[in-house]
Amino acid sequence: MEETNAEKAKAHFAKWQACLDKNKVESIPDLFTKVVEAIKKDPKRSAAKKKVDKPKRQGNFMTSNGKKWLQLTKTSKTQKKKEALVKQSVKKSGLD
């Protein structure tokens, strides 16, 4: 790419070149060796910052960062059986 269109290559690899300049290395393999050495020197991982709070449930609604949306809770097997019994009893009483 550099041989055919130098400006296009410069624009295409600008972020890589900026990264190399920032770390004061000449090539990408040198950058990787520098990174590996830094990791070996201090292998502890830094804690990542939370971007968004976890959504919190308020009844059937979820809220997070000022937004609110409906998210119904699942009904358990026992709740479904109770509802079915109620419907059956209503049907039986309506027929009699």
Over residues 14-61, the pLDDT tens digits come to 998 899 999 999 999 999 999 999 999 998 888 888 777 889 999 899
Residue 5: pLDDT band by 50, 70, 90 thresholds? Answer: confident
Dihedral over alpha carbons 20, 21, 22, 26 (to 10 degrees): 50
Taking the CA atoms of 68, 74, 79 and 84 in sequence, report the sign of the dihedral they define.
positive
Q: Over the stretch 62-71, which tens digit does the pLDDT of each residue have?
A: 998 889 999 9
Q: Where are the alpha helices (DSSP H) in 1-96?
A: 6-12, 14-23, 28-41, 77-95
Cα dist from 74 to 59, 78, 79, whole Å: 12, 12, 10
Structure tokens at 65: 């960062």
pTM above 0.75, yes or no: no
